[in-house]
Amino acid sequence: MYYIVTGAAGFIGSNLVKALNERGENNIIAVDHLENADKFKNLVDCEIADYLDKEDFLEKLQEGFFDGLVNAVLHQGACSDTMETDGRYVMDNNYQYTLELLNYCQNEEVPFLYASSAAVYGGGGKFKESRECEAPLNVYAYSKFLFDQIVRRRWQKRSAQIVGLRYFNVYGSREQHKGRMASVAYHLFNQYRTEGRVKLFEGCDGYANGEQLRDFVSIEDVVKVNMYFLDHPQKSGIFNLGTGQAQSFNDVAVAAINTLRIAESKSALDLTEMQQQGLISYIPFPEALRGKYQSYTQADIGALRSSGYTEMFLNVEQGVSRYTEQLLKAAG
């Protein structure tokens, strides 16, 4: 029997493959599309049974090759670029492909865990898993929103577990291939190491410089939640996956810089001291992002808690510090 992980060479997918390995599960079909060939590095330390391109995999699935052989599908594959303007491409990758997998899993009574996104909420101030809170600002968000709607329409007739996880701002190991779409924590680490200082956006939407607020969630917690639902196949639903606590980009910068300073045997500083010393500066907010930017996100995790998940989440100070230490170790 196999676990199938799509987007397996990507950020979240590769971390899920590694987590399955740590549980003794090596019978894993890794599905991805290595147009960005460097993503293979995320799987070098992982054990898998086979790798399939996403189109070859879908063809084999439709031909019945995997019938009766699948424990669960963890679907992380998608076009994750929120600035992508080719709507047909996004909808084909994120909506239609996911729908094919859902249909298969329901027909075969296979648990299906898939990546949704906090982007479905748009610029609103409420982040609860209900229709009135959802207002996507771009086609990426719409593709995730539309699939969630399909799941809701089919809810009463489901034959196996369906779990949609609305990821908030995830950061952590194995994201280096993402380029400009990598987390702010990753970019700040590299900026400080290269220039000795970091840059954040100036204020927008009524927020001061660097004080826009996001729910930053560590990949460590994202993996734990996925494993929780794998262990509880009787639990289904669409759930926010964030910490439940918004923090500022300034908080992320302070955590990253202080971790690096301590590694250099320097004393920790507070935000004001970093600003005064020029360690944090601010650049104009990009015009291309105006009207398409979430200046505030904070997951309502009531539904997740009600499902029985009780683990505490890492805050920015804990998670970013741990991640920065990992990056520093990897950099030698």
Residues assigned a catalytic role: 140, 178
Residue type for 5, please?
Answer: V
**CB neighbourhood size of 310 (10 A):** 8
Residues 6+ apart with CB under 8 A from 306: none
Residue at token pair 């298969």: 104
Nearest CA to 164 out of 137, 183, 144 is that of 144
Residue at token pair 């923090």: 247
| Cα–Cα separations (whole angstroms), residue 222 to 109, 200, 228, 274 | 25, 25, 10, 31
The DSSP secondary-structure symbol of 197 reads S
Tokens of 303: 């539904």
Residues 259/332, Cβ–Cβ less than 8 Å? no
